[in-house]
Structures are given as C-alpha cells and as structure tokens.
Amino acid sequence: MKSTVPVGTGATIRRMFTEQGKSGFAYVSCPEFLKEGSALEDFLHPDRVVVGDQGDWAGDAVVELYRPLDAPIVRTDIASAEMIKLAANAFLATKISFINEIANVSELTGADVQEVARGIGLDARIGTHFLKPGIGFGGSCFPKDVSALKQLAGNSGYHFQLLTAVIEVNELQKRRVIAKLQKHLGSLVKKRIALLGLAFKANTDDMREASSLVLSARLQADGATVSAYDPVAEEEARKLMGGVEFADSALGALDGADALVLVTEWPEFSELDWGEVARRMKGNVVVDGRNFLDRGRVEAAGFVYTGIGR
C-alpha cells in the first residue's frame, strides 16, 4: 500500500483476506513521501523508506525491492507505518501554520519574518525546511492528511487540539490577503485585482485546495473583478473558478488592475519588467503572497509593496 490511508486500514484488509479464505495474501504498508514537481528525484533519493509488515516474507521482499536506493529503511508494524505518513504531513503543515503566525506577529511588531526564519532555522532541532511564510498551504496532501489525522483521533476518543489550530490558522491566512488589499484600496467594489499564479505551488498544475480558489471567490463576493494568469494550471483552474478573466500572459492579467496579488511563485514572475507593469496597471498595490518578488525593484517602480510578515 503506497497511498496515505487511515491507521487501521491494513488490519481491516488483512481481516478481509482471512474471511475470504485468502490467507496466502500478505499486506505491506510502504507509504510514499514524494513532492509534486520533484517526484522522480524524491523517489530515487528518499530520506527514508518505511516498510510496515508482519515480519514475514512479504516485508522481506519489499525491503529487498527498495534496497538499491541506498536509503535508511524503517521497518516497523503496519499501524505505525500508516501513522508515520499522516504524522509527517501533519507536522510539516504545523510548521507552515506556525511560521505564518510568526509572520503575522512580525508585521505588528516590526520584525522581518524572513530574518526570524533564518535565525531559528539554523537551530538543528528546528531546521530550515517549511519555514517560508505565505498565504497558507494547499494541494492534495496537507489539508486532507491533517483533517484525516484529526478525524482519526476524534474517532478514537482524543481531541487533537493542535491540528484544530493548524487548520484554522491556514484558513485565516488566506483571508489576511483580503484585509491587506482593503487596507490600501478601501472597498473592493468595482476594483480589479490580478492574481499571478493559481496552482497551489509552482511546478505543478494541481489546483486541489489551492489558495487562489478561496481568494478569487472572496474577492468576487466583495464586489471585485478578478483577472488571473498561470503558465501551467489555467486549464484546471477554468474548471473550478467561475467569473474569473483568464489572461494568456502575466502582463495581460495586469492590464488596468488596481492591485496585484502574487499567489504562486512561478520563476517567470521574478523576471517581470516592473516599469512595464507600472504602465499597464491602474493602481500601485502589490501583495506578495510568497515573499518571492524583489522588493527593491518593485518599490523603485513606484509600487506599494506588502509581503507576508515583513
């Protein structure tokens, strides 16, 4: 089983084997830890391979299958292997919500969250990964797995308070972008807002749980017109985003816009000609939802720059 499944799935399937007289079948939990956009690299060079089994021939076979990858092999029981995958994704999501909370406090106190993240990330106990603030996590894994673990705990009679907060922080983070726009523009009625990037992250066309979905819906509910551009995800986005004007280039999306919101950190957005952007846009507000743009260049072109936690 490579998929992320609730703890207890393996036990249920093994029981079904027995009930159906298929005792010759074995079950091994071997969850994958691949990131979208770098799946091949992650598969060939994993941090670890998790093998959960009954300590029998099937587990031995899977261990031998993965041995050529020359990675640490964690061989354990089935339930623990299933929990490892859920716990790993929930922990990473927690790190994201934590640094987003630090970013929000940094904005109020004058600190720069990027400096804070650099300072705490050098602590070996914390590490640098997943300490990039933004407008919340999305995709097919983190939202689903955090909710699944929270539900699993609840079904087992335990209230997982921390994950409740992680989910709430992630939802509120998206709303803060709307507040930033309102701070500079006032009412968003009849304002034109351009979204650059729609996929939940760069190097994929995945729109599942993408922040752009929430942003476009909230902006339109507040009376704004939304234009958007994504170099890869437009086809998928069109299926999910009603009322949005899609452009065939970043500059096309910015024509006549009162504000720009960078949602996905596609490399091409770092190369924008900000002089040309200034000529195209009606307004001068830039909300950098990933702290990805060169703030100096943006401000030199006459824009009001707002990042996350800066």
Domain end call among 166, 198, 228 = 166
Asked if pLDDT for residue 226 goes beyond 90, the answer is yes
For residues 300 and 182, membership in a common domain is answered with yes
For residues 191 and 294, membership in a common domain is answered with yes
CATH for 204: 3.40.50.720
Cβ neighbors of 152 (< 8 A, separation 6 or more) are 6, 7, 86
Domain end call among 76, 93, 112 = 76
Nearest alpha carbon to residue 178 among 222, 134, 143: 222
For residue 2, is it within any domain?
A: no
For residue 200, is it within any domain?
A: yes
pLDDT tier at 140, thresholds 50, 70, 90: confident
> How far apart (Å, rounded) are the C-alpha atoms in residues 1 and 75?
14
For residues 228 and 292, membership in a common domain is answered with yes
Domain end call among 25, 57, 76 = 76
pLDDT tier at 67, thresholds 50, 70, 90: very high
Share above pLDDT 90 across residues of the chain, in percent, rounded to a whole number: 95
Per-residue confidence (pLDDT) for residue 213, from 0 to 100 = 95
CATH for 137: 1.10.1040.10
Q: Which two tokens stand for residue 130?
A: 């997943």
For residues 107 and 199, membership in a common domain is answered with no
Q: Is 141 a catalytic residue?
A: yes
For residue 235, is it within any domain?
A: yes
For residues 190 and 282, membership in a common domain is answered with yes
pLDDT tier at 139, thresholds 50, 70, 90: confident
For residue 4, is it within any domain?
A: no
For residue 289, is it within any domain?
A: yes
For residue 3, is it within any domain?
A: no
pLDDT tier at 141, thresholds 50, 70, 90: confident
**Please, what is the average pLDDT of the chain?**
96
Share above pLDDT 70 across residues of the chain, in percent, rounded to a whole number: 100
For residues 96 and 67, membership in a common domain is answered with no
φ, ψ dihedrals at 271, nearest 5°: -105, 15
Section 123-145 average pLDDT: 92
pLDDT tier at 249, thresholds 50, 70, 90: very high
Cβ neighbors of 181 (< 8 A, separation 6 or more) are 188, 191, 193, 219, 259, 261, 285, 287
Q: How many domains does the chain have?
A: 3
For residue 124, is it within any domain?
A: yes
For residues 119 and 240, membership in a common domain is answered with no
For residues 132 and 31, membership in a common domain is answered with no
For residue 108, is it within any domain?
A: yes
For residues 124 and 248, membership in a common domain is answered with no
Residue 249's Cβ-side half-sphere holds a number of Cα atoms within 13 Å equal to 8
For residues 207 and 272, membership in a common domain is answered with yes
pLDDT tier at 17, thresholds 50, 70, 90: very high
Which residue range is the domain that position 244 belongs to? 173-306
Q: Out of 81, 141, 193, 259, which one is annotated catalytic?
A: 141
